[in-house]
Chains A and B, each alone.
Chain A
Amino acid sequence: MENKQDIDVINQYTGEKWYYSDIVKEHFFNPRNLLWERPKDESEYDAHGMVGSPACGDMMEMWMKIEVGSGKSGVREERVKELKWKTFGCASAIAATSMFSVMITENGGLPIDEALKVRPQDVMLRLGGLPNRKIHCSVLADKAFQKTANDYFRKTGKFDKIAVEGARVIDARLNITDKDIEEAVLEGAQNLEDVQKKLKVAVGATEEMKTEVEQLIRFYAEKYYG
């Protein structure tokens, strides 16, 4: 199927081909829910979040409006009425944010708890797939949303709902955390050797530490590529 698509970018060093689906192109050239002008007053929106990845060079900002109403059984429900964004990044980062905002706000908007369950894979699926190296970009969209949601929970006093991305130290000598390993996997590392090249983690360490790193690599590989 991939072969039928145009080759849009070819890596100058490796010759690796990157394919963008027509949906990705459509959202890149005509992004949905883009925020044109920054709000003059922060209170125009109910929440705001910003996230980025220094390695990939993407940065995303989101603004959210929530509509409080009653759900099916009359229970209080908070739906995402508007999700506006700005993205500094490559074509797939722009397309992924655009698609994410569509998925969250279509059909009257998802309840915020449901919106938080939208996974990067779901965005990629709706985009008709992304090249492996570009998975980074769709992951960022859901991270930006998590931060925006956290901002909302903080402002509305729902502190128990704030999801903290805790970083757990794996290699204390170098202060390398599970998040560092997650980043390395997202950047394409597939095994201990690849991760060590990037992070020097667990070099000359105990077998237990190496096993733990390997388990994390499998976990994140499964999470993003499985």
Chain B
Amino acid sequence: MKRIYLDHAATTPMDLRVKDAMEPFWAKEFGNAGGLYEEGRVAKNALVKSRETIAKLIGARPDEIIFTSGGTESDNLAVFGVANHLGTKSPNGDLVPKSHIITTKFEHHAVLEPCQQLQKEGFDVTFLDVGEDGIVNPENIKRSLRPETILVSIMYANNEIGTIQPIAEIGKIIKEYRTSHFSLPTARFPYFHTDACQAAGYLDLNVNNLGVDLMTVNGSKIYGPKGVGFLYKRAGVKIKPQIIGGGQEMRTRSGTEPVALVVGLAKALEIAQAERASEINRLTPLRNYFVEQLMKKIPKVVLNGHSVKRLPNNINASILDIEGEALVLYLDAKGISFSTGSACTSESLEPSHVILALGKPYEFAHASMRFTMGRGTTKEDLDYVLGELPNAVLWLRKVSPLNLELGAKSMSHPEAFAGENLRVKAKSKSYK
């Protein structure tokens, strides 16, 4: 059966041009870039070139690119790196007790969980609300900035709903804040980090336009290899290495450089940035078509996130009264792959924190479906999905006892969630 893969936000197939670029560096050019001899020099040369390519693409200097094992490591390195370098004691001196970090409630777990851990370790962390449309209000960041704020970490585009955050605007606000505190010892802070993994295929990555000090990008979302990514770190920004040992990557990230992966990452980013304009032009109408047809063919569908300020390949909608995992399995049998924010596919059995952050109740999160298109997606593919989807939904709705309201803000059947004389808590609410 033909498979229609609509989960490009999870990972992308590797571009064959990337595969070709990597090919020599597995078996033939296998050298350790740290070696002074011929094999080492070949490896080193490839590493240097890749670093230069990436630096040029994002408007940075080569020594500002730190290769890592991927998005999660880059995010961890940025958050823990800044926090651990400074410690809980504010750089402002003894007067202010705690270093402060600002992030959002709908960040990727690779940022969220380090922030939660730092909170336990004594850092003060602000988890900002996001608007109903899935976009952070820069004014909220402005209001949260304090002399002891050391780091602001805001994702460029959300991985679940694809909403694009006003990074350049936030970058300006942070720069202005620093300038206005130039006489304080904290004038260099806060640092500004953005996770650009989802954005890298579609948006401008120029770090000067964005005004970021740290930026995460990985290979697996841009038709490159999995297991490699980089952290852009502006010269002068000090972070504590999280992996130590050999002193590679300007003593910031130890470990023998995976030359093949790095070459692949550079090639993938080069292609992604070169083709992003044409991909935007091709995918945007497809996205709008899919959303429009989805709404037309299936009653009770709610689009999650802003309808326009989102990645051109992302469609995320809650199809009410049914549960995501069931629909995923149902359509998998029809050759369609996509993902869901339902709790049943998460480790903690908690539904998507992103959909909950939009102020929607549990059932909307359990019913959220994410379709993310890619370079191989055609209108025919979408028409096939649009042909199968309504029947699957119709069937699962017959099975389901739920009948939710479109604009619901709270849990639908609290009485179902309590036993005899049993009190049930859902988030901060309590039901009897």
Contacts and interface: CB of A to CB of B under 8 A. Distances in A.
Do A and B share a complex?
yes
Interface of A: 8-9, 11-14, 16, 20, 28-29, 31, 34, 36, 50-61, 86-91, 93-94, 133-134, 136, 143, 147, 150, 162-167, 175, 177, 179-180, 187-188
Given A187-B348, A187-B349, A167 B322 contact: no
Contacts of A133: 349
Contacts of A134: 344
Contact of B321 (A58, A88, A166): A88
A60 B347 CA distance: 22
The 5 closest A-B pairs by CB, nearest first: A86-B401, A57-B366, A90-B325, A90-B344, A52-B416
Contacts of A180: 425
Given A52-B413, A88-B400, A165-B422, 15 more contacts: A12-B345, A29-B333, A50-B415, A51-B417, A54-B424, A55-B349, A59-B416, A87-B401, A88-B322, A89-B326, A89-B344, A167-B419, A175-B423, A187-B349, A188-B348
Nearest to A49: B416
A88 B420 contact: no
Chain A interface SS verdict (over half): mixed
> Which among A16, A54, A89, A134 has the highest number of chain B CB atoms within 10 Å?
A54
A60 B346 CA distance: 21
Contacts of A162: 420
Contact of A179 (B350, B398, B422): B422
Contacts of A59: 401-402, 413, 416-417
A175 B423 CA distance: 10
Contacts of B321: 88
10 contacts: A12-B10, A53-B417, A57-B365, A86-B399, A90-B344, A136-B349, A147-B419, A166-B421, A177-B423, A188-B349
A56 B350 CA distance: 7
Interface of B: 10, 109, 321-326, 328-330, 332-333, 339, 342-351, 362-363, 365-366, 398-402, 411, 413, 415-417, 419-426
A54 B411 contact: yes
A56 B344 contact: yes
Nearest to B110: A13
A54 B417 contact: yes
Contacts of A58: 323
A31 B398 CA distance: 11
Contacts of A28: 326, 329
Contacts of A86: 399-401
B409 to A, nearest CB: 15
A62 B363 CA distance: 20
Nearest to A54: B426
A31 B399 contact: yes
Contacts of A8: 329, 332
B343 A55 contact: yes
Contacts of A29: 330, 333
Contacts of B366: 57
A151 to B, nearest CB: 11
Nearest to A150: B420
A51 B422 CA distance: 11
Nearest to B350: A55
Given A34-B398, A55-B350, A90 B326 contact: yes
Contacts of A13: 109, 346-347
B402 A88 contact: yes
> Which among B343, B347, B402 has the highest number of chain A CB atoms within 10 Å?
B343
Contact of B423 (A9, A11, A51, A167): A167
Nearest to B430: A175
A34 B329 contact: no
A91 B329 contact: yes
A30 to B, nearest CB: 11
A143 B10 CA distance: 36
Contact of A56 (B10, B349, B424): B349
A41 B343 CA distance: 34
Contacts of A177: 423
Contact of A94 (B326, B332, B415): B326
A167 to B, nearest CB: 5
A180 B421 CA distance: 13
Contacts of A143: 419
